[in-house]
Amino acid sequence: MSEKVQVSDEFLACYTLAEDVIESYTREGHTLIRGLASPSMINEIRPKIQEVVKRLNRESRPLGERDTYGKAFLQIQNIWEQDEMIRRFVFGRRFAKVAAELMGVNGVRMYHDQALFKEPGGGHTPWHQDQIYWPVDTDKTITLWMPLVDIPQDVGSMTFASGSQERGYISRLEISDQSHKTLSDYIESEELLQVNYGAMSAGDATFHAGWTLHSAPGNPTALTREVMTIIYVADGACVLEPDTNARKTDLHKWMPGLKVGDPIASNLNPVMYRNESS
CA distances to 165, 188, 244 from 26, in Å: 9, 22, 28
Whole-angstrom distance between the N-terminal and C-terminal Cα of the chain?
A: 34
Residue 68 CB burial class (10 angstroms; 0-12, 13-18, ≥19): middle
Amino acid at 110: M
193: nearest Cα among 166, 168, 164:
164
- Cα separation, 238 vs 144, whole angstroms: 21
Instruction: Determine the topology of domain 2-59+68-267 in CATH.
Output: Jelly Rolls (2.60.120)
- Beta pairing, strands 125-128 & 141-147: unpaired
* Sequence-separated (6 or more) residues with CB below 8 Å from residue 64: none
Instruction: Give the H/E segment covering residue 195.
Output: strand 194-196
Q: Give the start-to-end residue ranges of the domains of the chain.
A: 2-59+68-267
pLDDT of the chain along its 278 residues, tens only?
333 434 455 666 778 899 999 999 999 999 999 999 999 999 999 999 999 999 999 988 988 898 888 888 899 999 999 999 999 999 999 999 999 999 999 999 999 999 999 999 988 899 999 999 999 999 999 999 999 999 998 887 899 999 999 999 999 888 888 999 999 999 999 999 999 999 999 999 999 999 999 999 989 999 999 999 999 999 999 999 999 999 999 999 999 999 999 999 999 999 999 997 75
DSSP secondary structure of 137-186: S-S-EEEEEEESS-B-TTT---EEETTGGGG-----PPSSHHHHHHHHHH
Write the pLDDT tens digit of every residue in 206-237.
999 999 999 999 899 999 999 999 999 999 99
Instruction: Give the H/E segment covering residue 74.
Output: strand 74-77
8 Å CB contact between 74 and 116: yes
* Sequence-separated (6 or more) residues with CB below 8 Å from residue 58: none
- Cα separation, 21 vs 30, whole angstroms: 10
CA distances to 57, 92, 95, 101, 278 from 274, in Å: 33, 12, 12, 10, 9
DSSP state of 238: B
115: nearest Cα among 174, 39, 63, 49:
49
